[in-house]
Chain A
């Protein structure tokens, strides 16, 4: 039984002359505990798919069911709590005038949950931050620490699914690995399901079980991690992306 099931998802913006179909006929299923990747170049619609899953983008058609329950563009509070989003930019995703504690308490207040202090402390420990960080403001934290707080905020409502929108692309390379490992550990412990948007093939290969390659609003291929690692992908566009991610390989004859 898949935890996310998407059929015929289409998203468009504007109307009349400005009408633009951004996502066309996208269909996929994600199994519980799996990490499903979305790759593609900028503007191919991968973040839009994520936005539609999160409930951020309202103007979509098709059918989406999350945790066995069909959802529409408008979500109830309980439906929103099933999936939470981690944003790309840790500098813009935390309220600059709220302490970390305030940021983490907000969702608990909205959902009327009890044992708030305990929950805040627990989630901070889960993401590897000391509980005393509650009293700090975002500008007193480093980029990696902020991203940990953003993950903590996403986790505090105990969601089944995390939607990760390029969670490491704004971070230093050394911090990227820390955050990726943290995400991996959390997934193993809590049996979380991830949908990960990235255009970094290394990140995708590190985390994802399967990856959908998007081009111009459509899936061109859904490849498994093994296929990516072996390079046995079907579609020429996927091959282009894989070649691009290898970086510059000097010609052999010059090396000798």
Chain B
């Protein structure tokens, strides 16, 4: 059993290497995790230490990506900002995956009025533009990174629930599910033992593809001042504060902008690659 799982992971790894774009995405994501983990070792300045005599210095050997309007090192802030980005996207995923699955799978499995009620609630959430909804929630809850996470999670779960419902519906009437029911298996066992393993690939893919929009929404909230609060380094907020000096100090906006672009592109590529790799029809 364990051997079979190891073998499966190995096959997955082989097909990941065979897909250069997905592998590039994978490397960037691994890089992000490493940078976030070893931020104190990688940063060569204190990310929140202000030094007004050093304000708005262009990139140099000392300040690799220059300094911002308070004289803080942009490179060090970028490195620490990776933590914020990773924190938000991982936390949103961890919150959203079980909630989305539970709601969608329950709706799909039980059907009837439960399905109608749960799916109409999902529709209500889906009908708002996600950034506006996140904005409204974080404005209501107050600015801050935890509230930003909650606000983003509220906008991300509906598509997951939809997906889980659709997947559940396709397996709901399958003979192996009926067989389990006829042997006395309860709803919880059927959902978690029988439906989850079948839904998992598409939900994982969807979540990976969502990562980039989570990162962009987090950056957007930060840009609007509702995400991470100063002096905490966050890429969106960094890009926003550099906007005033765009003509004099291009590095302030460009560097975090490129970081956001790279990471969300990487998650997209990885998600696309995973879709090709994990699709059971290709196995």
A residues whose Cβ falls under 8 Å from a Cβ of B: 54-56, 77, 80-81, 84-85, 87, 89, 92-99, 101, 103, 106-107, 110-111, 135, 137, 150, 153, 157
B residues whose Cβ falls under 8 Å from a Cβ of A: 1, 4, 174-176, 178-186, 189, 193-194, 197-198, 280
A85 with B1: CB separation less than 8 A: no
Q: How long is the Cα–Cα vector from A103 to B198 in the complex, in angstroms?
A: 15
B198 with A111: CB separation less than 8 A: no
Q: How long is the Cα–Cα vector from A11 to B79 in the complex, in angstroms?
A: 67
A99 with B4: CB separation less than 8 A: yes
Across the interface, name the chain A residue whose C-beta is closest to B283. Answer: A139
Partner pick for B184 among A85, A101, A111, A137, CB 8 A cutoff: A111
A87 with B183: CB separation less than 8 A: no
A110 with B1: CB separation less than 8 A: no
Known contacts A92-B175, A93-B176, A96-B280, A85 near B182 by CB under 8 Å: yes
Across the interface, name the chain A residue whose C-beta is closest to B174. Answer: A92
A97 with B198: CB separation less than 8 A: yes
CB distance from A223 to the nearest CB of B (A): 29
A135 with B4: CB separation less than 8 A: yes
B181 with A157: CB separation less than 8 A: no
A110 with B184: CB separation less than 8 A: yes
Which of B178, B181, B184 is packed against the most chain A CB atoms within 10 Å? B184
B280 with A56: CB separation less than 8 A: no
A80 with B1: CB separation less than 8 A: no
Q: How long is the Cα–Cα vector from A106 to B185 in the complex, in angstroms?
A: 8
Q: How long is the Cα–Cα vector from A169 to B198 in the complex, in angstroms?
A: 27
A to B contact number (C-beta, < 8 Å) = 63
Listed by A's residue number, 28 A-B pairs whose Cβ atoms lie within 8 Å are A56-B178, A56-B182, A85-B178, A85-B179, A87-B175, A87-B178, A92-B174, A92-B175, A93-B175, A93-B176, A93-B179, A95-B194, A96-B176, A96-B198, A97-B197, A99-B1, A106-B180, A106-B183, A107-B184, A110-B183, A110-B184, A110-B186, A111-B184, A135-B1, A137-B4, A150-B179, A153-B179, A157-B183
**Which residues of B sit under 8 angstroms from A101, Cβ to Cβ?**
1
A81 with B184: CB separation less than 8 A: yes
Known contacts A96-B198, A97-B197, A106-B193, A80 near B175 by CB under 8 Å: no
B183 with A80: CB separation less than 8 A: yes
Across the interface, name the chain A residue whose C-beta is closest to B179. Answer: A93
CB distance from A251 to the nearest CB of B (A): 43
**Which residues of A sit under 8 angstroms from B4, Cβ to Cβ?**
99, 135, 137
Across the interface, name the chain A residue whose C-beta is closest to B193. Answer: A106
Which are the 3 A-B pairs with shortest beta-carbon distances? Answer: A93-B175, A77-B184, A97-B197
Known contacts A89-B175, A92-B174, A99-B1, A80 near B197 by CB under 8 Å: no
B183 with A56: CB separation less than 8 A: no
B185 with A110: CB separation less than 8 A: yes
B176 with A94: CB separation less than 8 A: yes
Query: Contacts A98-B197, A107-B183 given; 11 further ones with Cβ under 8 A?
Result: A56-B178, A77-B184, A84-B183, A85-B178, A85-B179, A92-B175, A95-B176, A101-B1, A106-B193, A107-B184, A110-B184
Q: How long is the Cα–Cα vector from A80 to B182 in the complex, in angstroms?
A: 6
Partner pick for B176 among A77, A80, A92, A99, CB 8 A cutoff: A92
B182 with A55: CB separation less than 8 A: yes
A80 with B174: CB separation less than 8 A: no
**Which residues of B sit under 8 angstroms from A55, Cβ to Cβ?**
182
CB distance from A147 to the nearest CB of B (A): 12
A84 with B182: CB separation less than 8 A: yes
**Which residues of B sit under 8 angstroms from A153, Cβ to Cβ?**
179, 183
CB distance from A150 to the nearest CB of B (A): 8
Across the interface, name the chain A residue whose C-beta is closest to B178. Answer: A56
**Which residues of B sit under 8 angstroms from A99, Cβ to Cβ?**
1, 4
Q: How long is the Cα–Cα vector from A248 to B19 in the complex, in angstroms?
A: 56
CB distance from B72 to the nearest CB of A (A): 50
Q: How long is the Cα–Cα vector from A93 to B193 in the complex, in angstroms?
A: 15
CB distance from A103 to the nearest CB of B (A): 8
CB distance from A98 to the nearest CB of B (A): 8
Which of A80, A95, A107 is packed against the most chain B CB atoms within 10 Å? A95
CB distance from A159 to the nearest CB of B (A): 10
Q: How long is the Cα–Cα vector from A164 to B207 in the complex, in angstroms?
A: 42
**Which residues of A sit under 8 angstroms from B198, Cβ to Cβ?**
96-97
Across the interface, name the chain A residue whose C-beta is closest to B184. Answer: A77
Q: How long is the Cα–Cα vector from A54 to B183 in the complex, in angstroms?
A: 10
CB distance from B282 to the nearest CB of A (A): 13
Which of B4, B182, B185, B198 is packed against the most chain A CB atoms within 10 Å? B182
CB distance from B117 to the nearest CB of A (A): 21
Q: How long is the Cα–Cα vector from A150 to B1 in the complex, in angstroms?
A: 20
CB distance from B196 to the nearest CB of A (A): 10
CB distance from B39 to the nearest CB of A (A): 38
Across the interface, name the chain A residue whose C-beta is closest to B197. Answer: A97
